[in-house]
Amino acid sequence: MNIPLSKPFFDKEETEEIKKVLETGWVAGQGPKNKELEEEFAKYIGVKHAICISNCTAALHLALLALGIGRGDEVIVPDFTFPATAHAVLYVNAKPVFIDIDPTTFNINTKLIEKKITKNTKAIIPVHMFGLCADMDSIIKIAKKHSLFVIEDAACAVGNKYKRRFAGSMGDVGCFSFHARKNITSGEGGIITTNNQEIADTIRSLSCFGMTSAFSREKDFHIPTFTKLGYNYKLSDIAAAITLIQLKRSEKFIEKRRQLAEYYNEKLKDIKQVQCPVAEEYNRHVYQAYTILLDKNINRNDLITRLKEKGIQTQIGTYALHMQPVYSNVAECNEQDFPVTKIVFEQSLALPMYNELTFEEIDYIVSELKEILK
């Protein structure tokens, strides 16, 4: 057996699309495939604007810049996330303020947010971890009360729905990733969503060197001017074409992942040392990752090695930011503030999850897991 942690699904359609794009000669950003993807993505999640970006980290960076967040400002971030979320806050010279998480959803514990709000707080970045929406009703309520922006880190959450609203459509800005381990992928890639025209225009310009009219080049002859210090965060038309095909399959992918997750839940339910992912009825988990929590007496790292020996690739859930040296001088990293994240960082385990995973392979994974835990 050789079961990877994750595996993107591509077929002939992607190959044919890549060929077509190569033949048109427009392989850089801002081409027809970027435009089509932006329109289709905005339609899918129900927002007015979508802007293709090279990856989700760049998307978070531009979201913060477009909202005017900078030096002296504070931004609330869950302590349990991939470091890209807090890195982006540091890119704009603001201070990330970490919050412990909920032990069952692995998302930000909204009850702890208000205690950390100061006169310098400007925004909250909820992360929809592993494809499950953070408690957006509470977050939006807190944000409104304290006049804060909400930037959804929806890197893992394409297609995730919370009370019938799609992830990335509830805050001021949504940031998505098309990295290889995400539900839909072009290898690397991202997209930003917003309902605000001004934010969309600023982000578009910042993603293309800070040009005034980054997208009007096909119209009359016009020499653009550079009004802001922008970046080159564009997405190639090749990547956009691949993502368009993937996007058409998004609902099918989600359905398959949810079936696999249900099967895992059923198979794992009588292992006492394992906590399976839990989702409320109104929160459609898209299982970018299927992450379990192991009892604290189990040596998680040793388990990863032993499963590998059986041909099963697994991985830690994600990171506890307060434990990462990069933040030690720029954020409050007192261990006593993050008891849940510490445990989840040390005891979470992502099991294989991808569209072509079979029920028989899950049977094998669970039987090996049981054998080792015996």
Q: How far is CA 335 from CA 327, 338, 339, in A?
A: 13, 6, 7
The residue (of 253 and 268) whose beta carbon lies closer to ligand PLP is 253
For residue 108, the cross-strand partners are 101
Among residues 47, 50, 51, 56, which is the contact residue for ligand PLP, using CB under 6 A?
56
Applying the rule CB under 6 A, the residues between 63 and 102 that interact with ligand PLP are 81-82, 84-85
Q: How far apart are the C-alpha atoms of 150 and 137, rounded to whole Å?
A: 12
User: Angle at CA 364, nearest 5°, toward 363 and 365?
Assistant: 95
Question: Please, which residue, 207 or 366, has the CB nearer to ligand PLP?
Answer: 207
Q: Which is nearer to ligand PLP, 96 or 190 (CB)?
A: 190
Q: 209-216: long-range contacts (C-beta < 8 A, 24 or more apart)?
A: 214/30, 215/30
Is 19 catalytic? The answer is no
From the list 33, 161, 182, 256, the catalytic residue is 182
Residue 199 binds to ligand PLP (criterion: CB under 6 A): no
CB 347, min distance to ligand PLP, A: 19
Q: How far is the CB of 277 from ligand PLP (least distance, A)?
A: 16
Three-state SS at 260:
helix
Residue 155 binding ligand PLP, by CB under 6 A: yes
Q: How far apart (Å, rounded) are the C-alpha atoms in residues 81 and 321?
A: 7
Q: Does position 183 bind ligand PLP by CB under 6 A?
A: no
- Of residues 104-143, which lie at the interface with ligand PLP (CB under 6 A)? 127
The footprint of ligand PLP on residues 292-351 (CB under 6 A) is: none
**Rounded CA separation 61/53 (Å):** 11
- Strands across the sheet containing 49-53: 49-53, 190-194, 173-177, 149-153, 121-124, 74-78, 95-99
CB of 282 to ligand PLP, least distance (A): 22
Gap between the Cα atoms of 349 and 134, Å rounded: 20
Judged by beta carbon, residue 123 or residue 366, the one nearer ligand PLP is 123
Contacts of 319 (CB under 8 A, 6+ apart): 80, 81, 82, 83, 345
The smaller minimum CB distance to ligand PLP, of residues 41 and 82, is found at: 82
Binding site for ligand PLP (CB under 6 A): 55-57, 81-82, 84-85, 127, 153, 155-156, 177, 179, 190
> Which residues are known catalytic residues?
182
